[in-house]
Amino acid sequence: MATATITSKGQVTIPVQVRNALGVDTGDRVEFVEVKKGEFAIVALTRSLRELNGLYRGRRSKPASIAEMDAAIARGAAESR
C-alpha cells in the first residue's frame, strides 16, 4: 500500500508506484473524485474518455432529474458558504 504525508501547506507527494500506475509525470494534472463520503479516487486528467469508461458504474441506476440536479446545486452552494 502506498502512503504519503501532508505538508503544512496541504501538499502531498504522490508515491512513484501510484504515479506510474496513473501514467502521470511532472506537470500532469490529476483530479480527486469523491466516490463516496470520505473516499476519493485520483484520476489522471491526461487519460482519454475511453479509459474512464466504467469508473462510475453502479453509482446511479437512472439519470438525475432536473429537480434533483437543482437540489444538489443548492446543497453545494449552501455548504460552500
Angle at 48 between CA 42 and CA 52, to 5 degrees: 50
Would you list the domain boundaries of the chain? 16-79
Residues 33-61, mean pLDDT to the nearest whole number = 76
| pLDDT range class, residue 4, cuts 50, 70, 90 | very high
How many Å apart are CA 33 and CA 43, to the nearest integer?
A: 7
The CA distances from residue 1 to 15, 18, 20, 28, in Å, are: 10, 10, 14, 23
Which helix (H) or strand (E) segment holds residue 39: the answer is: strand 39-44
- Stated pTM of the model: 0.52
